[in-house]
Amino acid sequence: MSGNVKASSLRGILAGRNAHIWRLVLVMVGWMAFMALTKYEKFYTLINFQTMASQFPEFGLMALGVMLCMITGGIDLSPVGVANLTAILMAFLLKALVGPEGGLPGYAIPLVFLLGALTGCLLGALNGLLVSKVRIPPILATLGMSELLAGVAIVLTNGNAVSKLPVDYALTINSRIGGLIPVQLVIFSVMAMLIWFLLSRTTYGTKIYLLGTNARAAQYSGLNNGRLLVKTYMLSGACAALGGLIMLANYNSARANYGGVYVLQCVLIVVLGGVSPTGGRGRISGVVLAIFLLRMLETGINRFPQISSYYISLIWGGVLLLVMVLDYLTNRGTRPGHGKSKAPGASAA
């Protein structure tokens, strides 16, 4: 394959500042080339790309939230819990709003998104308070929250799916703007742009990078660590809630145990995207690329009927380890120890 030739001519770029991003691009281009050579007519169709663009936002949004928490040096393991509980509550609301003819009033969908996002913020704020005020390690606080929310969701639904929703909701979210761009993609893009702006153009972004680097120095510099953490977990909650609302449309139902694999998948996406699990480092472009990569791998593999979908985990895990090993190999050559000569946030500003 052409991978080797590319690798040698791009060596300069690969060792540079955006090394991690370029490596992800390389892996993605490699996979796209492989799909082009083997299944061109089945993979490179508009409808295929539209389908992918409607599928990845549900976990992509959750991953964006996890990324923010990881930048502060924490983690959020509750996005699926938040998503499912929000979806269930909003499903109840939609059923209550439905008119006598089975239609929804015009304000219903905006209202659902507003209340859904607020629900996410509220649940995220609880996470944030547990982490910042009660000082429970984030991994435990959000795992506990995840179980708690799943429990609430089961009690509310007796473990059954909430279905027979008004069709207008799923139809609206599953429609394509101008017949081309899926609404799910628009929601994801808006949120991704907002987070990009927050991270690179506002004091909030700089503060959470510094907080994640050294919480003690942040306190000694007069930052309000508690408020920053609560804000971050709220944002993560809002992202997860929006993911839940998209799941509600994609499956046309809500249930306490939808999307169980997404929790760890989100963590892996974020790490694959170059966010440091110890905090303070990582960029949204890397995470978005990792989200695309995961979706393309999964969809690509599905184009081979002879390969069982059970192989997806295997290949996904393989890619993750491959990128980590590439990171290790290039870091070993160019930078002694952990010392990066350029500050990670440098190019974001």
206 vs 330 by CB, closer to other proteins? 206
Is residue 202 near other proteins by the rule CB under 8 A? yes
CB of 146 closer than 8 Å to CB of 81 = yes
Specify the amino acid at residue 145. Answer: M
Shortest gap between Cβ of 125 and other proteins (angstroms)? Answer: 19
Q: Encode 189-225: b = buried (16+ Cβ within 10 Å), e = exposed.
A: eebbeebbebbeeeebbbbbbbbbbebeebeeeebeb
Shortest gap between Cβ of 199 and other proteins (angstroms)? Answer: 11
Is residue 281 near other proteins by the rule CB under 8 A? yes
Which of positions 209-238 make contact with other proteins (CB under 8 A)?
209-210, 213-214, 216-224
181 CB-contact burial (10 Å; exposed 0-12 / middle 13-18 / buried 19+): middle
Shortest gap between Cβ of 287 and other proteins (angstroms)? Answer: 19
Q: Which residues contact 220 (CB under 8 A, 6 or more apart)?
A: none
Is residue 340 near other proteins by the rule CB under 8 A? yes
Identify the CA nearest to 162 among candidates 89, 79, 54: 89
Q: Per-residue x/- mask for other proteins, residues 235 to 274, rule CB under 8 A?
A: ----------------------------------------
- What count of Cα atoms within 13 Å lies in the side-chain half-sphere of residue 247? 33
Q: Per-residue x/- mask for other proteins, residues 36 to 75, rule CB under 8 A?
A: ----------------------------------------
Residue count, binding to other proteins (CB under 8 A): 32
217 vs 325 by CB, closer to other proteins? 217
Residue entry with tokens 């704020």: 125
Binding footprint of other proteins on the chain (CB under 8 A): 201-204, 206-207, 209-210, 213-214, 216-224, 280-281, 336, 338-346, 349
